[in-house]
Amino acid sequence: MTELSAALAARKISSVELARLCLERIRAHRDLNAFITVDESGSLEAARLADERRAKGEGGPLLGIPIAHKDILCTRALRTTCGSRMLENYTSPYDAHVVSELERAGAVMLGKCNMDEFAMGSSSESSHFGPVRNPWAKNRVPGGSSGGSAAAVAARMVPAATGTDTGGSIRQPAALSGICGLKPTYGTVSRYGLVAFASSLDQAGPLAKSAADLALLMNAMAGFDARDSTSLERTKEDYARSLRDLDLAGLRIGVPEAYLGEGVQPGVRKAVEEAMRWFASQGAKRVPVELPHLGLGVAVYYVIAPAEASSNLSRFDGVRYGHRASEYSDLVDMYARTRAEGFGAEVKRRILVGTYVLSHGYYDAYYLQAQKVRRLIVRDFQSAFERCDLILGPVAPTTAFEIGAQIQDPVKMYLGDIFTVPGSLAGLPGLSIPCGFDEAGLPVGLQLTGTYFSEAKLLAAAHRYQQASDWHLRVPTETPL
C-alpha cells in the first residue's frame, strides 16, 4: 500500500487505473467467493473523485487506495448483509463510522466481503452466500469470520480491507490466509454502524499485507466517536510515525508455556519459535509468563458472546426491515418462521445458547460466572504485563483446515479460538502477522498481544520483523500475480 500510495502521488498510476486492476483481479478470482457485493461503477466513480481530489492538491496515504469492507459494516452505497439471508436485501441509510472515516481519508470502496453469518464462525463457511476459499489452497478455509476480507487481501484483489474481531475474527483469518491483521484495544475504533454480534467484544480493525499498512489504516479508523458510548476519548495517535520508535534491545517478550504446548501443530510451533528466536537475536528478552486461566477462555467466551448475541439479534424480527416470512398465521408464527428462515444453523445455535445462559435460574451459574472468570483473565494479563512488554505466540493452533472438515463439529471449531479469545475478553489489542509456512505450505500466523493502547508498540515490533523477513510478501500459490 505504501508503494501504491507513492505511485499514486507520483502520478505513475491513477486511482481509476488502480481500481480497474483490482476489479479485474476480483473478477479473475471470483471462485474464492471473497466478495458478497462488488460495486464496479460506484468504485470507479469513487476512484475518479479521488483522482480529482489529488488534482486539487489533496494527498494522504489512503487517497485513491482501493479497499473492501467486511459486509457487517453499514454502507449507504451497498447492501449490508452480514452474510445472512436475514439481511440479504438490506441497505443501510447511513455509513458506519469506520466507513465514513476511510472515505474521508480518500480510500475507494470496491465492495463488501464475505464472512461467517453475523460474524459467528472461524472458517467463513457459515455465510448464506457460500464458503470463502483460501488463496493458498482452494479446498481450505481462509479462517473467519473476516475470511472474505483476508482472502481478498491475500489474493491481491485489494491492498487492504476492514474486518471485525469478536473472538479472533481478524487475527485468525489473517493468520490462515498469510496476511496481517490488527484487533485494536476495545473502544479504540467506534462500533457505530458495525452490526453487533457481541457488543462487549466487537472491535473493527484493518487487514493488509504489512504492519506498516495496518498503521496507515489505523490512523484513519481509530478515534473517538460520541455515537458509541464505549468509544474512548483519547488524543489521536500517529501509528505510522511511531513504527521506527521501538528499540527491540531489552524488549521483554512473554511466551506463555501453553501457547506452544500440546494441541499446537508442530509446523505452527516451529514457525513461532523461529520468530521468537529472531526477536531474541535483536536483543529482545524471552521471559516466562503465566496465564493461569487461559484454558477457560473459550468456555467463558462461548457463554458471554452468545448471551449478548441472543439479545443483539432480537431486532431481526421481520417487522421493520430484513427478511420476513411470506406466510404465517399470527404474530408469534411470523417471528418464528421469519427467524427460522432468515438465520443459519450456527446463528441459531448461538441464539439458543445465549438465551439459555441468560434464563432465570441459569444466569448466575453461567452468565454471571463467566463474567467473574472474565475478570480473572483480565487480571492474568495485567500481572503478565508487569513482567513483559508484549506476549508472543501463535494465532491459532493449526493452519488452514479443509472446507467442511470442522463445520459439523462446533466444539472443535470453537477450540481453535483458544489463543485469540482471551485477549478479546480482556479487551486487549492483538496483531497477527505471517511468520512462515507449515509442511503443507500453508501460512502460519504470529500473534503479538500487548497491554491496552499498545497498538503502536505491536505495529512497530511487527514492522521491524517484516523489515528482516519476507513472509508477508509471499504471494499465494493459487492466485499468482
Partner 1 sequence: MFSGASTAFGAAPNTQASAVDIALPGTLPVANRAAVEHAIRFGLAVKGAINRRSIFARKNYFYPDLPKGYQISQYETPIVQGGEVRFLVGDQEKTVRLTRAHLEEDAGKSLHEDFHGMTGIDLNRAGTPLLEIVSEPELRGAKEAVAYARALHALVMWIGICDGNMQEGSFRCDANVSVRRIGDKKLGTRCEIKNLNSFRFMERAIEFEARRQVELLEDGKNVVQETRLYDPERDETRSMRTKEDAQDYRYFPDPDLLPLVVTEDMIERIRTAMPKLPDAQREELIASYSLTPAQAGQLTSTRATSTFALATFAGAPSTAWPALVNWITGPLAAKLNEENIDIDKSRVSSEQLRILAIRTEQGVLSGKMAKEVFDAVWSGEGDVDSVIEKRGLRQISDSGEIEKLVDEVLAANAKQVQDYRAGKEKAFNSLVGQVMKATRGKANPAQVNELLKRKLG
Residues catalogued as catalytic: 70, 145, 169
428 binding partner 1? (CB under 8 A): no
Min dist CB 27 to partner 1, Å, is: 29
How far are the Cα atoms of 220, 247, 457, 464 from residue 129, in angstroms, in the given order? 30, 46, 38, 39
Return the residue of 193, 306, 394, 416 that touches partner 1, per CB under 8 A: 193
Q: Which is nearer to partner 1, 251 or 307 (CB)?
A: 307
By rule CB under 8 A, what string of x and - marks binding of each residue 54-73 to partner 1?
Answer: -------------------x
Q: How far is the CB of 364 from partner 1 (least distance, A)?
A: 11
Contact present, 476 and 435 (Cβ < 8 Å): no
Please give the radius of gyration of the chain, using alpha carbons only, rounded to the nearest integer. 21
Beta carbons within 8 Å of 87's beta carbon, 6+ residues apart: 79, 80, 81, 195, 316, 321, 322, 323
Residue 326 CB, shortest distance to partner 1, in Å, is 15
Figure out which of the listed residues 89, 139, 281, 359 binds partner 1, where binding follows CB under 8 A.
Answer: 359
Per CB under 8 A, does 319 bind partner 1? yes
Instruction: Give the phi and the psi of residue 273 in degrees, each rounded to 5.
Output: -60, -40
Choosing from 17, 49, 299, 321, the residue that interacts with partner 1 (CB under 8 A) is: 321
**Strand pairing category for 285-287 and 35-38:** unpaired
437 contributes a contact to partner 1 by CB under 8 A: no
Q: 199 or 469, CB closer to partner 1? A: 199
328 is an interface residue for partner 1 by CB under 8 A: no
- Of 478, 437, 418, residue with least CA distance to 140: 478
307 lies in the site for partner 1, by CB under 8 A: yes
Closer CB to partner 1, 98 or 218, in the complex? 98
Is residue 375 within 8 Å of 369, Cβ to Cβ? Answer: no
CB of 339 to partner 1, least distance (A): 10
Q: Is 109 in the site for partner 1 (CB under 8 A)?
A: no
Interface pattern 124-143 for partner 1 (x via CB under 8 A): --------------------
Give phi and psi for 355, each to the nearest 5. Answer: -65, -40
3-class secondary-structure state, position 351: helix
Q: Which stretch binds partner 1 (CB under 8 A): 44-52, 82-90, 148-156, 254-262?
A: 82-90
Residue 444 is placed in which grid cell?
A: 502460519
Task: Answer yes or no whether residue 200 interacts with partner 1 by CB under 8 A.
Answer: yes
360 binds partner 1 (CB under 8 A): yes
- Beta carbons within 8 Å of 354's beta carbon, 6+ residues apart: 305, 306, 307, 308, 309, 310, 311
Q: Which of 27, 94, 257, 352 binds partner 1 (CB under 8 A)?
A: 94
Rounded Cα distance, 354 and 367, in Å = 9
DSSP for 426-462, written as a single string: HT--EEEEEEEE-TTS-EEEEEEEESTT-HHHHHHHH
User: Footprint of partner 1 on residues 332-351 (CB under 8 A)?
Assistant: 335
β-strand 180-183 against 108-113: which pairing, if any?
A: unpaired
Residue from 6, 13, 28, 331 in contact with partner 1 (CB under 8 A): 331
Which cell numbers hold the place of 281? 537475536
Q: Find all residues with CB under 8 Å of 166, minimum gap 6, and list them.
A: 119, 145, 197, 198, 201, 202, 203, 305, 424
Residue from the set 14, 15, 33, 92 that interacts with partner 1 by CB under 8 A: 92
Q: Single out the segment in contact with partner 1 by CB under 8 A; choices: 34-42, 235-243, 311-319, 433-441.
A: 311-319
Using CB under 8 A as the binding rule, whether residue 233 contacts partner 1 is answered as: no
Beta carbon of residue 415, minimum distance to partner 1 (angstroms, whole number): 24
d(CA 205, CA 162): 6
From the list 430, 451, 363, 433, the residue with the least C-alpha distance to 150 is 433
User: Which span (3-11, 54-62, 185-193, 425-433) binds partner 1, by CB under 8 A?
Assistant: 185-193
Binding mask 364-403 for partner 1 (x = CB under 8 A): ---x------------------------------------
Which residues sit at the interface with partner 1, rule CB under 8 A? 73-74, 80, 82, 87, 90, 92-94, 96, 191-196, 198-200, 226-230, 307-308, 310-311, 313-315, 317, 319-321, 331, 335, 355, 358-360, 363, 367
